[in-house]
Structure formats: structure tokens, C-alpha cells
Amino acid sequence: MTVQSVLPHSSEQVPGNHHPTSIRPHESGRRFGVRDGLFQAVAQGAGEQYLSAFALLLHATPFHLSILSAIPQLLGTWAQLVSVKVAHWFPSRASQVFWGIIGQSVAWIPIFALPLLWPRQGPWMLIAAVAVYFTFTHFTSPVWNSLITDLLEPNERGMYFARRARTIAMTSFVALCLAGALLSFFEQQQLLWVGFSVMFLIAGLCRSASAFLLMKVSDLPPHEPSSNSTGFRVFLRTGMSKNFRRFLLFSGLMHSAVLVAGPFFVIYLLQDLHLAHWQYGTWLAAGIIGQFLTLPAWGQFGDRFGNKALLSFTGLLVAFLPMLYLCGTTWSFLVTVNFFGGVVWAGLGLGLNNYVFDAVQPADRAKAVAISSVVNAIGWTMGTMIGSVLINTLPAKLQVGALTLESVSNLPFIFFLSGLLRLIVSATLLRTFHEPRQVEQRAHHRLLWELPLLKPLRQLSRRPPITNQ
């Protein structure tokens, strides 16, 4: 579900399990986590990823795109707090997840229909409908994470979530490519509306399929609230460690720095550089491929060396990604940059999600997930608002002494500023919190060679040469 959606289960033997052929407890629940990810990935790749492009079809302005990115997330995240508060209204956690998924499925109808009914207010109608969709998505998130985490041992969470995320990434890639081809076909026929309607219908049906699969799961663990379970106020005052508070500050400010640029890549690529929809879809798909190739390695890294080490590397690397958009505008270069963006974001997303699970007591996980999402959404909103101000004030030509920097628009400069803010956040806050689990310790310069893409190169360089006998 949303940002917490990560990871699937594999058939590999788990440490401590000496009977790989035996059926492990809650196996159908683990499989549901994977299959739910498959259908969720289709909804993301063929639906959520193209919401900004749909908004441009409705003549949305940069301000509309900022609101589209910020407000639905902010409203939806507050739904997580409500979700925890009303959990006792439902007979089980599975029931709460079921109705949240049904809400997501139905919400795709107004996402497409409302802008058609009121075309003059199309962007605002889309924003309102997307807000409803993300409200249901976030309503499901805390209980879904609590449910799935109870099925896993602490030392397998990284690999499970990584593999589920890898499944999501590959399915999203296929959905993105097919959706991009579909849009390009209808664009040639001057029927883009039809293309979007087909995509959004498929997205809604896929979320319904997840609800149907959940009805067939029979071995989910019952939820037994702790006898000393506390409310949000008590948890905020006494349930959060200093480590977790500092992590929340890092996570919230990182989201803010990222979203200074995040909503505007679609404008830069489609309007400023005039890429075709299939080229934009390929750019999006490159990031998904980067995730797909490296997620298992990031999961292993986090399980072995800790999520703090994972955040330390990816938090610094993610700062340089948007700066690269000042270096070139060729399509192949942009696709390459987004591929490495997918690699880095795969690790950063896993680290941000899994650190929350490790930093609090099991009984407080749903509350911790909700609070983390609220903090991130506040940062998300701040970042998009700052970005929308900058896009209307920053010039497209900068003079620095004798050096003149000129671009097709001011957006590459905003991207560079976003990267600089990310670097400041990482450099100042990563040192303020620590790893809550006992993990293998290793110096950072040695950990560097354990990173995805670098580790295979190191292993290859150490292979003995093949000689003819």
C-alpha cells in the first residue's frame, strides 16, 4: 500500500527453517502479500503513474500539479490516523484491509468521470477524486503493514519486502510500457480520452481483484492488542525513542526536499522537451527496471548491515540525481539518469519503510506507520508548495560572474536546488540517529563494495582467470 508497499515472499529457505518442503505458518497470507502487490502494481503503472499526464490533458497548470501531488497525499495520510483509531470497529484486520481496497477500486470511477462531467473545473475535479483514492489507500496502509509484518521474522523482512517490491517493479514496468503504447495509439487517433478511460478502468478492476484474493486467505493471525496499548498522544510523548524522532525529522525533510522537484518532471519532459508519451513512459519504466534489478540486493544489505547503513548511502546518492538534469537533454541520457534513480530509490524506500518497523514495539507499529506517513506528507506538501513558488519566480537564465547558464526552462535549476537541499538534509541529519537492531558492523569504505551493482563487479574482478589446460 502506497509508500509502505514493498516486498514479496519467495520459496527460498529462511534461516532457521530446516524443512524447506514443509508449509510454513501463514503461508497463504504471505502469498496474498505478493499477489496483492501484483495487482497493485498494475494500478500504479497503468493508473497512478499517468495521473499527471491526464491532468495536463485537462489543461492543468504547474500550480494544479503541485496541489495534485500534495493535497491527496496529505489528506490520505491523515486517514492513516483515523484508520488506527477506528480499527476496533472492524471484526478483523483483514476486514479493514478489504474495505479499504474496495474504496480504492471504486474511486477510479470519479477520477475519470468527474472531469468529464465538469470539464471547466477538470483539474480541480481530478484533484478531489484523487484525494478520495489516496484517502482509501492510506486508510488501508497501517493495518496492512501491521498484518504482513506479523507474518515475518525480523531477519527476513528486508528480503521479503524487497522481493515483493521487485515483483511490483517488474509488473509496473510491463503496465507502464503497455499503457504508454496504448496512449500513443489513441494519441495518433486523437482519442487520448479513450486511452485514459481504458487504463483507469483496468486499474480499478485490479484493485477489486486484490479484495477478491483477500477473501480466500484463511490463515491470517488474529490481532490481539497489547494490554498496555496506548493512544496517539501517549505514544507521541513516551512511546517514541529519541532515535525514532530524529529519523522522522530526516524522513520528513527529505520528502520536502525531493518534492521541490518531484511534480514537475512531467512538465519538463512532455512540455519543455516535447517528448512523446511512449518516450515519457520509457523514462518512467527505466526507473522501475533499476528498482527491479537491485531490490533483492538492497534487502539483503538492510537485513545484514541495518537500515541505517542503507539510508546513509542512499540518502547521499539521491542528492545528486536531480542535479544531472542540468547536464543534458537527450532522451537516452534522461532514461539513463532515471535508471540509476530507480536503483537509488529502491534502497532509500526500503530503508525508510523498514526502519519504522525496527524502531518501535510490535504493538505500536500501526501507530508508528501512521505517524511516519503524516510527517512525510507534511514534508511532501511543504516541498510541492516551495516548488510551485520557485517555478513562477526562478528565471530560465542565470548569470554567475562571467558564466551564463541557460536552459529550455527554469525547471533544471529547480531540480538542482532540490538536489542541494537533499544533500544538506542527509549531511546534517543522518548522523543524529542510529541502527535499532543488532547487525553486522563494517567500516563504510568496506560497505561500499557491498552495494548493488558494485558488489557483482567486485566479485567478477576477483574471479581467477580461465586458463587452457
The three-state (H, E, C) secondary structure of 326-353, written as one string? HCCCCHHHHHHHHHHHHHHHHHHHHHHH
Task: Specify the amino acid at residue 360.
Answer: V
With 0-12 CB in 10 A as exposed, 13-18 as middle and 19+ as buried, what is 56?
middle
- What confidence tier does 240 reach under pLDDT thresholds 50, 70, 90? confident
| Total of domains in the chain | 1
The pLDDT, as a whole number, for residue 10 is 31
Q: pLDDT class for 238, splitting at 50, 70, 90?
A: low
CATH code for the domain of 45:
1.20.1250.20
How far is Cα 77 from Cα 65, in angstroms, rounded to an integer? 18
Range of the domain at 200: 26-218+238-436+444-450
What is the pTM assigned to this prediction? Answer: 0.69
- Output 31 or 421, whichever has higher pLDDT: 421
Query: Residue 298 pLDDT > 60, yes or no?
Result: yes
pLDDT the model gives residue 451: 78
Q: Is residue 460 part of a domain?
A: no
Given pLDDT bands bounded at 50, 70 and 90, which one contains residue 23?
A: very low
Alpha-helical (H) ranges within 232-306 are 232-234, 242-259, 265-267, 277-305
Residue 227 maps to a domain = no
Is 207 in contact with 104 (CB distance < 8 Å)?
yes
From 257, 244, 269, select the one nearest 316 (Cα to Cα).
257
Dist. CA 60–CA 73, nearest whole Å: 18
Better-predicted residue by pLDDT, 410 or 173: 410
Share of the chain above pLDDT 70, in %: 84
With respect to residue 459, please indicate whether it lies within any of the assigned structural domains.
no
The overall longest dimension of the chain from CA atoms, in Å, is: 78
The partner residues of 404 in beta bridges, in order of sequence, read: 399
Structural domain contains residue 269? yes
The stretch 367-380 carries a mean pLDDT of 84
- Please compute the mean of the pLDDT values over residues 179-195 and round it to a whole number: 85
φ, ψ at 100 (rounded to 5°): -65, -40
Task: Flag whether 231 is in a domain.
Answer: no
Neighbours of 319 (CB within 10 A): 23
Q: What are phi and psi of 405, to 5 degrees?
A: -110, 120
Residue 404: phi and psi, rounded to 5, are -115, 125
Q: How is residue 424 written as a grid cell?
A: 544538506
Q: pLDDT grade, residue 15 (50/70/90)?
A: very low
Instruction: Identify whether the C-beta of residue 448 lies closer than 8 Å to the C-beta of residue 454.
Output: yes
CA angle 451, 456, 462 (to 5 degrees): 120
pLDDT of residue 13: 27
Q: 14 lies in a domain? A: no
CA atoms within 13 A on the CB side of 383: 32
User: Which of the four pLDDT bands, split at 50, 70 and 90, describes residue 449?
Assistant: low
Helix count (H) and strand count (E) of the chain? Answer: 17, 2
pLDDT over 90 at 16, yes or no: no
Q: Which of 326, 228, 339 is nearest to 290 (CA)?
A: 339
456 vs 40: which has the higher pLDDT: 40
Tell which phi-psi region holds residue 409, choosing left (phi > 0), alpha (psi between -120 and 50) or beta: beta
pLDDT tops 60 at residue 423: yes
**Dihedral over alpha carbons 339, 343, 345, 351 (to 10 degrees):** 170
In-domain check, residue 3: no
Question: Alpha-carbon distance 172 to 167, whole Å?
Answer: 8
Higher model confidence: residue 267 or residue 447? 267
Interatomic CA distance for residues 421 and 235, integer angstroms: 30
pLDDT at 384: 86
Is residue 229 one of the residues assigned to a domain?
no
Pairwise CA distance, residues 428 & 112, whole Å: 43
Q: pLDDT value at position 231?
A: 60
Question: Does the structure show a pLDDT above 70 at 300?
Answer: yes
pLDDT band at 294 (very low <50, low <70, confident <90, very high): confident
What Cα–Cα distance (Å) separates residue 407 from each residue in 164, 219, 281, 327, 391? 40, 57, 23, 10, 13
Q: Nearest-CA neighbor of 62 among 412, 385, 376? A: 385
The residue with greater pLDDT, 339 or 11, is: 339
pLDDT score at 433: 92
Q: Determine contact, residues 312/344, Cβ cutoff 8 Å.
A: no
Tell me the average pLDDT across 33-52: 87
- The CA distances from residue 214 to 35, 92, 230, 356, in Å, are 10, 12, 29, 25
Confirm if 394 and 261 have CB atoms less than 8 A apart: no
DSSP letters, 5-72, are ------SSPPTT---TTSPPTTHHHHHHHHHHHHHHHHHHHHTGGGHHHHHHHTT--HHHHHHHHHHH
